[in-house]
Each structure stands twice: as C-alpha cells, then as structure tokens.
Amino acid sequence: MDAIGSDEAKAIESDIAAVEAATGVEVVAAIVPSADDYPEATWRAFSLAAALAALAAWAIDVGRPDWVTPAALLAQALTILGAGALAALAARYVPACRRLFVRAGRMRGEVRQRAEVMFLSREMFATPHRDAVLVFVAKLEHCVVIVPDVAYRGRVSTADWQAIVDRMTPRLAAGRVREAFGEGLAALQALLVAKGFAPDDGRSHLPNRFVRGDEK
C-alpha cells in the first residue's frame, strides 16, 4: 500500500521516539495511499483521449475521403471509444497518469483536509501541553502536510514548517518514502531544539507507532 516494510516502519518509529526524547513534544507520522479518489481524473482522461482520437480520424477522412465507408466509420468509432477507455483506465490505476488530470491545488487541499481530520480523529489535541505535531504524507499526491497544535504559535512560523516539507517532498516524489520521513523527522528535531523545546518528564501520551492508512 505505501511501500513501507515492517523494518522501515520500525525505523520511522525510532526516529519519532528520538524527536520526542530530544524535544519533549508529541509526534505522529502517518501515510495514506491517497487523500481522495479524484473521480474527475477518469472522465477527463477519457474525454481528452477520445477527442484526440476523433481529431485524428477526422484528419484521415479529410486526407483520404475514399476510405470513408460504413466499415471504416465503425472502426473509427470503436477506436475513439477504445482510446478513451484506455486513457480512463490509466488515470484510474496509474498514479502518474492520475496526477496529470487533477489540479495541484485540489490535491493539496484534499491532503490538508485529510491530515486535519486525522489530527482530530486521533485526538491529538488532547496532549497535556497541546504540543502534538502530525507529519502527514499522501503518497499519490507526493504531498506532505504538517499539522501542529497550539503550543507552537508564536514560536514556529509557517515558513519553518514549510522548510521541513520542502526537504521531504523530493524524496517522496522519487519514491523514497523511508528517506523522506527520516529527513523530515531529523529536520523537525533540529528545528524544535533550536526553538527552545526541551525534554520534560519523558512520558509519551501518544503512541509512537507509524500510522498507515486509516488504521487506529
């Protein structure tokens, strides 16, 4: 589902524990295959491929009108529908193709919404110091979202969080999910230490387990 094996998941969990030990904050790392099904990608791909196939058929008819026979017209119709169907299947099952037919802004919005829902559904706001941080990855979208609780307001800026996202994204786009999380968690630890976050009583109120999909 997410190209993360059990050994890699354990390594990410070890990274989470290291961040918490060094900073005293609560960290959750999560990955989902995609934030949405993006049904529009399928019909957009079908429409584009069918239109291009129809244009090609028209050009052939103009160039060779003597080829226009009932059998040829039937073959053209089947070709147009077949091209559309193949493109729709590619958009449905090939991640790179699906991304081509979904606006980047829509994907970012869906990932942000999915991350915020996870933050709430897992009650990450219930930590004693309101210092939870969710590092959320959507694999299809190649998108990283960081959702911090209120303890970071005035201490960590939007640009600081974005710098971590920018370090993770190239590795995620290259399919190196484990490296992306490792880079991001190391950067998170360095940032929070620099901002003055320090270990407290060592107690963790959220599980350090790496979250995959919608598992509890």
Q: 201: domain CATH number?
A: 3.10.310.50
- pLDDT for 134-172, tens place per residue? 999 999 999 999 999 999 999 999 999 999 999 999 999
Please give the backbone phi and psi of residue 202, each rounded to the nearest 5 degrees, phi first.
80, 0
How far is the C-alpha of 86 from the C-alpha of 37, rounded, in Å? 18
46 and 131 belong to one structural domain: no
Our count of domains for the chain comes to: 2
Q: Whole-model pTM?
A: 0.86
164 and 135 part of one domain: yes
Whether 140 and 76 have beta carbons less than 8 Å apart is answered as: no
Residue 119 and residue 31 share a domain: yes
11 and 115 share one domain: yes
The tokens describing 199, both together, are 């270990």
For the chain, how long is the longest CA-to-CA vector? Answer: 86
Q: Are 164 and 117 in the same domain?
A: yes
Question: Does the pLDDT value for residue 1 go beyond 50?
Answer: no
The residue segments making up the domain with residue 116 are 6-36+103-212
Residue 149, domain member (yes or no): yes
Of 100, 115, 146, the residue at which a domain comes to its end is 100
Contact 20, 127 (CB under 8 A): no
Residues 173, 108 share a domain: yes
**Residues 76 and 183 both lie in one domain:** no
Proportion of the chain above pLDDT 90, given as a percent: 75
**pLDDT tens digits along 93-143:** 999 999 999 999 999 999 999 999 999 999 999 998 999 999 999 999 999
Q: Are residue 142 and residue 166 in the same domain, yes or no?
A: yes
Tokens of residue 17, six digits? 């524990």
